[in-house]
Amino acid sequence: MDPRLKVILYGNPDEELSLLMRLEKEKEYPDHCKIVSEFGNIVSIRTRRRFLCSIYNSKKVKSLKAPTVIPANDGIELNSETQILDKKNEVLSDTVSKAVFGIIDFGFDFTHPDFINNGKTRFEKIWVQSGRYDGNEFGYGRIINQAQINEALADEFPFKKLGYHPGKSDLFGNGTHGTHVLGIACGNGAVAPKSFAPNASIIAVDMGTNYVNGSNLSLGDSVKGCDGLYFIVKEAIERPLVINMSLGGHGDAHMGVTLFEQVIDYILTTRKGTAIVQSTGNYHQANAHTYGDIKQNQKIKIPWMFKKHDRTPNEMEIWYHGDDVLSVNIYDDDQKVLLSSTPFKDELIIKGGEEVGICLHRCKEPNTGKNQINILINGKLNSKFWTIELVGKSVKNGRYHCYIERDDGGQSIFLPAIANKTHTTNSICNSKYSIVVGAYNQTDSDKAILSFSSSGPTADGRMKPELVAPGFKIKSSCSSSSRENRASNKLTSKSGSSMAAPYVASLVMKILEKEPDLDIISIRKKLFKACDTASFKENNLEIFRAGHGYVNPDKLV
C-alpha cells in the first residue's frame, strides 16, 4: 500500500477522502467510489474511509494513491524589488487569441491592468479551490465566472465584492506567485513587459495559499491538481490550449509515472493543439538528493541533518530496484539505534521511549516496479542529525535514489559532501510529453544557468529540463497586498524556473495561434528547433540542466 495511504488509513470511518486511482480497465470501477475527474484509466475519486481497504484490494484497481502536497516552485528572492509606474500604458484591443491560456497556481489579481482589456477582464473563469463551496461538480471551492469579475471591477471594492482577495496572505507586498507568473505568460503590456500572448483568454485554478515563515506557499495537492487540469481542459472546449504549472516538490521516484504525471501525458496525447509547460524546480543546490550503488551485504551510511529547533515534520523517500531487498538502520546523533528494520515491514521509530516517526517499506510500487521506503518524522525530533544506514540484504541491481521532501518551515538536508545535484527536477515534471523549463541569467553575457535551477536527468535517464529560458530578476505584474483594495501599476521582480516556464508557455501560445491542430510531438519539435545550443567546456554536467539549450524567440516569432 502507498505509504501516504497508510497514514490516512485510520480515523473517522465516515470521513470523505479524496484519492487518485489507476484502473485495470477503463470505465470499470470498484464499488463505493464517486468519480470526479477522469483521464482514461486514471480517475480522481471521493469515498468514505470505511471503504478504503476494499477499494485498494479490488481486482479492478491497479494503483490507489493518497493526495501528495504540491507546493509552488517559489521564486528565489535575490534582493526583490517592487516598482510602481507613474501611469499604465493604454491597451486597446478587440482581438482575442484563438488559443486559451490555462494556469494552476495561486493568487490571481484580476484587478491588475495587465489582465484587463478595454475595461473588461481577460479571465474567463477562476476556480478558487480553497474558497467556500458553491455547489460545483467537484465538491469543493468556488468557481467565479467572467460576468462576476467584470461586475466586481466596476465596484469601489472589487475584492470584497467578489469575495476573493488574491493577496490575502501577502503581508509584505512582494506579490503573489500566480500573478507574477501570469504576467510573464500573457500580460498585455499595460504595466509589465508585453508577453507573446497579450490577447489570450485566461482560465485559472487557484490552489490555495498559506502564510508560512514569511513566504506564500501553495497548499494544493495531486488530487486537486488533477481536478484543476480536468476543469481547464473542459472549459477550453475544443480551442488550442497551453497550461502552465510552476509547481512541484522534491519527492517521488522521478520516473514520470506518478498518477499526476500520467494524467499530464494522457491529456497531451489525446488532445490536439495542447501543451503543458512546467518549471524544472529550484533544487539544484538544495542538498535534498543523493544516490549510489549498494552491494550484497554492504552497509552505506547517509547522514540526515536537521535545522536547529526544527519542529516541523520531515520525510525521506528511498527508491530502489524491485529485484533488490534492502533494510534500514536508523541512528540518532549519539549513535544510539532508533530502528533496526525488517524488509517490507512497517515499524515505529522510538527515541527515549517516545514515538518520533515511522518507517514504511513497500515492495514493487505498481507504477514504477521499484521498492519504496518512506521515513516520516513528526515534530518531536529534537536532534541535529540522524544516520540512515542502508543494508544490502539481497542485491542484483544495487542502484538507489534518496530524496528529502520539501519543507519550507524547516528544510532538512543530506550532508553536503554526499548530496548529488543531478536528478533534482521537481516531483511532478518528469512525464514524457510535458515541456520542462530551467532558468538562466539573461543579463549575463555567458548566459549562465542560474545556480539553483534544477538538474536532470530523470531517474530512468530521460532529458529534463528540455530547454532553458530567462529567469533572473524578471519584472512582471505585482498583485495587491492584503492591505490594498485594488492593484496599482505595480511591478515586482522574482527569479527562478517558475519565471522561465511561463516565458516558454507564451511562445508556445504563438505556435498554436498559427497552427492550432499541432500534436504535442510537433509542438515540441518546433520549440526545441528554436533553441540555441548550449555548450559547457568546464562542466559537462551542466548539460543536464540545459537540455536542447536556450530558447530563441526570434527563431519562432
For the cut 70, the answer to whether the pLDDT of residue 213 exceeds it is no
Q: How far apart are the first and last CA of the chain?
A: 49
Query: How confident is the model over 266-283, as a mean pLDDT?
Result: 98
Query: How many CB atoms are closer than 10 A to CB 483?
Result: 9
For the cut 80, the answer to whether the pLDDT of residue 74 exceeds it is no
Query: How confident is the model over 542-549, as a mean pLDDT?
Result: 93
Helix (H, G, I), strand (E, B) or coil at 553: helix
Distance CA 329, CA 42 (A): 36
Residue pLDDT, tens place only, 419-457: 999 999 999 999 999 999 999 999 999 999 999 999 999
Position 534 confidence tier, pLDDT thresholds 50, 70, 90: confident
Least confident of 19-23, 273-277, 306-310: 306-310
Position 83 confidence tier, pLDDT thresholds 50, 70, 90: confident
Residue pLDDT, tens place only, 7-48: 899 999 999 999 999 999 999 999 999 999 999 999 999 999
Note the pLDDT of residue 217. 47
Least confident of 50-59, 67-76, 153-162, 340-349: 67-76
Position 69 confidence tier, pLDDT thresholds 50, 70, 90: confident
Task: Provide CB contacts within 8 A for 151, sequence distance 6+.
Answer: 161
What is the amino acid identity at position 472? Answer: F
HSE of 368, CA atoms in CB hemisphere, 13 A: 28
Q: Are 330 and 418 in contact (CB under 8 A)?
A: no
Determine whether 445 is exposed, middle or buried from the number of CB atoms within 10 Å of its CB (0-12, 13-18, 19+). Answer: exposed
Position 218 confidence tier, pLDDT thresholds 50, 70, 90: very low
Query: How confident is the model over 300-312, as a mean pLDDT?
Result: 92
Query: How confident is the model over 338-346, as a mean pLDDT?
Result: 96
Query: How confident is the model over 235-252, as a mean pLDDT?
Result: 96
Q: Are 171 and 69 in contact (CB under 8 A)?
A: no
Position 535 confidence tier, pLDDT thresholds 50, 70, 90: confident
For the cut 60, the answer to whether the pLDDT of residue 216 exceeds it is no
Query: How many CB atoms are closer than 10 A to CB 312?
Result: 18
Query: How confident is the model over 389-397, as a mean pLDDT?
Result: 98
Q: What whole-number percentage of the chain has pLDDT above 90?
A: 83
Position 228 confidence tier, pLDDT thresholds 50, 70, 90: very high
Domains of the chain, with CATH numbers? Answer: 3-66 (3.30.70), 82-284+433-555 (3.40.50.200), 289-414 (2.60.120.1290)
Distance CA 447, CA 458 (A): 24
Strand order in the sheet with 385-394: 337-340, 325-331, 385-394, 299-305, 413-414
For the cut 70, the answer to whether the pLDDT of residue 538 exceeds it is no
Q: What whole-number percentage of the chain has pLDDT above 70?
A: 96
Determine whether 532 is exposed, middle or buried from the number of CB atoms within 10 Å of its CB (0-12, 13-18, 19+). Answer: middle
What is the amino acid identity at position 328? Answer: V
For the cut 90, the answer to whether the pLDDT of residue 170 exceeds it is no
Distance CA 339, CA 347 (A): 8
Helix (H, G, I), strand (E, B) or coil at 555: helix
For the cut 70, the answer to whether the pLDDT of residue 557 exceeds it is no
Q: Are 169 and 482 in contact (CB under 8 A)?
A: yes
Grid cell at residue 189 = 503590456
Note the pLDDT of residue 82. 78
For the cut 80, the answer to whether the pLDDT of residue 88 exceeds it is no
Q: What is the DSSP string of 445-509?
A: TT-PBPTTS-----TTS---S-EEEE-SSEEEE-PPPTT-SS--SEEEEEBSHHHHHHHHHHHHH
HSE of 72, CA atoms in CB hemisphere, 13 A: 32
For the cut 60, the answer to whether the pLDDT of residue 215 exceeds it is no
